[in-house]
């Protein structure tokens, strides 16, 4: 099929003579293309057709794509480091800038490694919560990673203001499960940030952009191969060190996870590790409820500058915070049942050993329990009063009925 900007939608590839597609409602004016982007409807090997730009970063451009053989939609990630390369005369070929040929080749190799990581995530048993790889193409002197196209948007889109603890938990719990599976296979992402966590239409988190991922060696200790790799505010201190002692492992990803929770609670990323070393402080939530307080504990625990003071892995989080998750699940069941929705006052918050919220939590537990006992006593009292009034009314009705019968009998 021949596609043209005036006759087809660059988003869904269906016929659309008007600017606004009647099928997907995408407006062509929203597809802003620059000179370094591939021309619209460029054809790649294996029958892929390139559509609109979905997003781009320092090393890659992501396009909407269609596979003509079966009409399936995909996202194609093109390796294009703008600081190292430029377009050739045909507007498709990627060529190294002056004196950058070697660096371009090194990062291209890393890009292929990303594709391999995604393939390994699909090995049985497949890891849920990781974007699926469909193909890998080498063309135009560069590499194209073909992935499933998801409906939704990045986590950063939502984290422009503080969010409720309950909403954070909707994506945090499945994200932890994904981390656990990745780390069990010795795959560490190294670049967790709100831009690289995609929330689907049903609020399920999907990890994207494994460009900085690295497999661990057998002793689970790796040297960081890129100084300052990642996103500021979510970069663990050890990633900024170029020394033999700088290891990247599960501790590193969990530091970034703490940054995600922090941004969810405050609507802004935490101060960078470099600024914190110089004295910048993490914010505290004001008058948090019990769920918010424990999420803040987890965030601060993960954001410890000393890697040895962070949770060792997801299993360690489960051990230390497991009681909290269990109580939370029990509370969710109580809240979901209208007949018992007030019983959640009885829920006891588990205690932790190393946080200044401990005393406040103990006091809160005592108050909550006292209030529950008080409410329970009041309920029993009201029940007794109700029974008394009910039987008194019945007795009054019987007496009235007898009196009326006697009056009628006397009149007869």
CATH number at residue 247: 1.10.510.10
Check residue 408 and give its pLDDT: 52
Number of structural domains in the chain: 3
pLDDT digits (tens, 9 = 90+) for 195-221: 999 999 888 999 988 766 544 433 333
- DSSP letters for 38-76: PPTT-EEGGGEEEEEEEEE-SSEEEEEEEETTTTEEEEE
Residue 26 lies in a domain: no
Check residue 32 and give its pLDDT: 87
Residue 22 lies in a domain: no
Task: Give the CA dihedral 154, 160, 166, 170, nearest 10 degrees.
Answer: 0
Task: Give the CA dihedral 352, 355, 359, 364, nearest 10 degrees.
Answer: -70
| Calpha distance 316→253 (Å, rounded) | 14
Residues 163 and 286 both lie in one domain: yes
Residues 405 and 292 both lie in one domain: no
| Calpha distance 187→181 (Å, rounded) | 9
Number of Cβ within a 10 Å radius of residue 191: 24
Residue 7 lies in a domain: no
Scored b (16 or more CB within 10 A) or e, 139-151 reads bbebbbbbbebbe
Q: Supply the pTM of this predicted model.
A: 0.73
Contact 171, 165 (CB under 8 A): no
- C-alpha 366 chain-centroid distance: 34
Query: What is the chain's mean pLDDT, rounded?
Result: 81
Check residue 80 and give its pLDDT: 94
Stronger pLDDT, 67 or 202, i.e. the higher one: 67
Check residue 69 and give its pLDDT: 94
> Among residues of the chain, what percentage have pLDDT more than 90?
55
φ/ψ of 133, rounded to 5, equals: -85, 140
* C-alpha dist (Å) from residue 386 to 154, 266, 382, 393: 55, 48, 6, 11
Last residue of a domain, one of 148, 174, 207: 148
Last residue of a domain, one of 91, 118, 148: 148
CATH number at residue 99: 3.30.200.20
Instruction: Please give the residue range of the domain that contains residue 302.
Output: 153-355
Check residue 410 and give its pLDDT: 46
Residues 197 and 309 both lie in one domain: yes
Residues 96 and 61 both lie in one domain: yes
Residue 136 lies in a domain: yes
Residue 135 lies in a domain: yes
Residues 318 and 175 both lie in one domain: yes
ω into residue 236 within 30 of 0, thus cis?
no
Residue partners of 156: CB distance under 8 A and separation at least 6: 193, 194, 195
Residue 237 has which token pair?
């201190």
pLDDT digits (tens, 9 = 90+) for 49-62: 999 999 888 789 99
Residues 129 and 171 both lie in one domain: no
* 3-state secondary structure at position 223: strand
Scored b (16 or more CB within 10 A) or e, 236-259 reads bbbbbeeeeebbbbbbbbbbbbbb
Check residue 378 and give its pLDDT: 58
pLDDT digits (tens, 9 = 90+) for 75-92: 999 999 999 999 999 999
- Window from 186-200, 231-245, 353-367 with minimum mean pLDDT: 353-367
| Calpha distance 331→289 (Å, rounded) | 14
* C-alpha dist (Å) from residue 322 to 73, 176, 316, 326, 327: 40, 13, 9, 6, 9
| Calpha distance 60→198 (Å, rounded) | 17
Residues 180 and 66 both lie in one domain: no
- Window from 49-53, 293-297, 316-320, 382-386 with minimum mean pLDDT: 382-386
Residue 12 lies in a domain: no
Contact 121, 127 (CB under 8 A): yes
Residue 49 has which token pair?
């057709």
* C-alpha dist (Å) from residue 197 to 220, 298, 349, 373: 24, 19, 30, 44
Residues 349 and 376 both lie in one domain: no
């Amino acid at each position: 099929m021949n596609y043209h900007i005036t006759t087809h939608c660059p988003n869904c590839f269906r016929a659309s003579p008007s600017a606004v597609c009647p099928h997907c409602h995408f407006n062509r004016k929203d597809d802003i293309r620059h000179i370094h982007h591939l021309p619209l409807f460029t054809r790649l090997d294996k029958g892929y057709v390139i559509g609109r730009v979905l997003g781009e970063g320092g090393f890659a451009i992501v396009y909407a794509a269609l596979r003509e053989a079966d009409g399936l939609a995909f996202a194609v990630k093109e390796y294009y480091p703008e600081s190292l390369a430029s377009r050739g005369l045909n507007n498709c070929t990627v060529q190294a800038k002056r004196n950058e040929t070697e660096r371009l080749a090194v990062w291209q190799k890393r890009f292929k490694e990303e594709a391999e990581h995604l393939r390994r995530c699909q090995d049985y048993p497949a890891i849920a919560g990781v974007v699926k790889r469909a193909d890998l193409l080498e063309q135009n002197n560069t590499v194209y990673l073909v992935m499933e196209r998801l409906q939704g948007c990045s986590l950063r889109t939502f984290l422009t203001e503080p969010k409720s603890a309950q909403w954070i938990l909707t994506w945090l719990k499945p994200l932890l499960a994904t981390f656990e599976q990745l780390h069990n296979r010795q795959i560490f992402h190294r670049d967790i940030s709100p831009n690289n966590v995609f929330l689907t239409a049903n609020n399920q988190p999907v990890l994207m952009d494994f460009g900085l991922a690295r497999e661990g060696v057998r002793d689970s200790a790796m040297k960081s191969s890129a100084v300052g790799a990642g996103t500021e505010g979510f970069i663990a201190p050890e990633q900024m060190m170029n020394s033999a002692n700088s290891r990247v492992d599960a501790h590193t990803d969990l530091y970034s996870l703490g940054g995600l929770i922090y941004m969810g609670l405050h609507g802004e990323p935490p101060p960078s590790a470099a600024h914190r070393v110089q004295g910048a402080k993490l914010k505290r939530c004001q008058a948090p409820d019990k769920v918010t307080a424990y999420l803040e504990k987890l965030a601060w625990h993960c954001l410890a500058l000393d890697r040895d003071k962070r949770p060792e892995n997801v299993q360690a989080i489960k051990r230390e915070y497991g009681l909290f998750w269990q109580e939370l699940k029990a509370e969710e069941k109580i809240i979901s049942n209208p007949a018992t929705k007030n019983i959640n006052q009885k829920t006891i918050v588990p205690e932790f050993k190393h946080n200044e919220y401990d005393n406040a939590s103990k006091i809160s537990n005592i108050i909550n329990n006292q209030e529950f006992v008080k409410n329970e006593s009041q309920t029993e009292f009201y029940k007794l009063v109700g029974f008394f009034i009910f039987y008194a009314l019945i007795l009054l009705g019987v007496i009235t009925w007898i009196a009326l019968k006697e009056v009628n009998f006397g009149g007869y």
